[in-house]
Structure 1
């Protein structure tokens, strides 16, 4: 198939590109490199299925028109977005324009050309989990940050194209994804930051009390879920979760990564109002409709992530 992948030079996008190329598709990537990096996709440039890496903005309607007119895309995996919760609180306009307005421009092209859309949303749209059965797709949403608000708005718009125009779409909500190629600085994920600080001999800093829990999904499991959602008609018009189905407190995670209580420090939370106290995924719908379930344990995933960070940053 001919596939358009937005945000394909980003952390998850890079793994989705790898999977799509391995499955034999022709892949075009659009990325503005506000978060993604060219070097993330260097290794694919000689792959026969890798068509083009376009430096561009999903809000550039002329660029999108040219792209969709020139290539008959079968699926659009729309991962391009502003993804930082704290940035969205400090600068909500940028997040809204990229995540909601940008998605609208993508939807219009996909409607015009009848291209299936896989829309990458986030578990951050959910209200806190209240029990150990986990968060299903019917769980209440709560836009605790402009990032979550922009994603909920975009989700509803994407689904409206299914109902109004019969366009095949699926909204996917992966839980906290981590693994190789994730940034290890302040804009990275908690696992990558903790592992990098451990290897650099620094303390692991935890915002607030550290009792908040996260459901951590290894990136290759996430990419497999993203790709499969595009292949299946069974999820059209649906919202589907993916996660490990196990949550861990940030305190426990820090201990698992560093193994030394003395290197764990608590600091004041920058934006405590945006914190979700408990995140635990119930992925039974993904298992039923896509025959998907995670295959990499948290312990194994942390080990793989640490190996990658050690060789990438410290050699």
Structure 2
């Protein structure tokens, strides 16, 4: 198939691109490199399936119109977004423009050309999990940050195109994804940051009391889920979760990574008002409709991620 991948030079986008290329598709990647990196996709340069890498923004309607007019896309995997919660609090307009308005522009091209869209949302749209059954797609939402609010607004537009126009659309909500190629600095995920600090002899700093929990999904399991959502018609018009189905407190995660409680420190939370105290995924719908379930345990995923970080110049 001919596939457009927005945000393909980002952390998850890089793994989605890899899987699509391995599956034999022709892939066009659009990324403005505000969060993504050319190095993430350097190994795909010269790959016969990589039709083009375009450094550009989804807010450029002329660029989008040209791409959709010139290439008969079968699927658009739309991952491009501003993803940092604190950035969205400090500068809500940038997040709203990229995550909501940008998604509308992509949707419009998909509608004009009848292209299926897989929209990458986030578990951060949910209210806290109240029990150990996990968060299903029917769980209450709570836009506790402009990032979550922008994603919810975009989700609603994506689903409206399914109901109003019959456009094949799916909203996917992966839980906290980690693994190789994730940034290890301020914009990175907690696992990558903890591992880097461990390897460089620094303390592992935890925001707040550390009792908040996360459901951590290994990136190759996540990319397999993302790609399968595009291939399947059964999920059209649906919202679908993906996660490990196991949560861990940040305190326990820090101890699992470091193995040394003396290196764990607690610091003042930078955005306590947007913290979700318990995140635990119920991925039953993904298993039922896609036959998907995670294959990599948290312990194995951390081992693989640490090995990758240790082998790079990120430390």
Q: Could you say whether these structures have the same fold, taking a TM-score greater than 0.5 normalized by the shorter chain as the test?
A: yes
Aligned residue number for residue 11 of structure 2: 11
How far 1:81 sits from its partner (Å)? 0.2
Partner of 2:277: 277
Retained in 1: the 8 A contact 2:122–2:173? yes
Matching residue of 2:224:
224
Give the corresponding residue for 2:144.
Answer: 144
1:41-72 Cα shifts (integer Å, max 9, x gaps): 01011211011000000010000011001000
* Cross-structure match for 1:85: 85
Q: Which whole-Å deviations, capped at 9, do the CAs of 1:152-176 have from their partners, x for residues lacking one?
A: 0000000000000000000000000
Q: Distance in 2 between matches of 1:207 and 1:314?
A: 23
Residue in structure 1 matched with residue 185 of structure 2 by the alignment: 185
Instruction: Tell me, yes or no, if structure 1 residue 116 matches structure 2 residue 116.
Output: yes
**2:144 aligned with 1:157:** no
Match of 2:290 in 1: 290
User: Which secondary structure state, in structure 2, belongs to the residue aligned with residue 313 of structure 1?
Assistant: coil
d(CA) in 2 for partners of 1:312, 1:119: 31
Structure 1 segments, 4+ long, off by >6 Å, are: none
- Taking the TM superposition and a 5 Å limit, the aligned residue runs for 1:256-275 are 256-275=256-275
Aligned residues: 315
SS at match of 1:131: coil
Report what 1:55 is aligned to: 55
Instruction: Using structure 1 for the length normalisation, give the TM-score.
Output: 0.99
Residue 314 of structure 1 deviates from its aligned partner by 6.0
Q: Separation in 2 of the partners of 1:271 and 1:79? A: 25
Aligned position for 1:100: 100
Return the alpha-carbon distance in structure 1 between the equivalents of residues 23 and 46 of structure 2.
16
1:314 and 1:214 map into 2 onto residues whose CA distance is 24
Cα deviation, 1:66-94, whole Å, max 9, x if unaligned, reads 10010000000000000000100000000
Cα deviations by residue, 1:240-270 (Å, 9 ceiling, x for unpaired):
0000000000000000000101000000001
Give 3-state SS (helix, strand or coil) of 2:186's partner: coil
User: 2:170 — aligned with what?
Assistant: 170
Q: Which residue of 2 aligns with 1:212?
A: 212
- What is the alpha-carbon root mean square deviation over aligned residues? 0.6
Flag structure 1 segments of 5+ consecutive residues without an equivalent: none
* Structure 1 counterpart of 2:243: 243
What whole-Å deviation, never above 9, does each CA across 1:258-291 have from its counterpart, x for those lacking one?
0101000000001100000000000000000000
- Matches of 1:233 and 1:45 in 2, distance apart? 31
Post-superposition offset of 1:313:
2.4
The answer to whether the 8 Å contact 2:244/2:281 transfers is: yes
2:233 is matched with which residue? 233
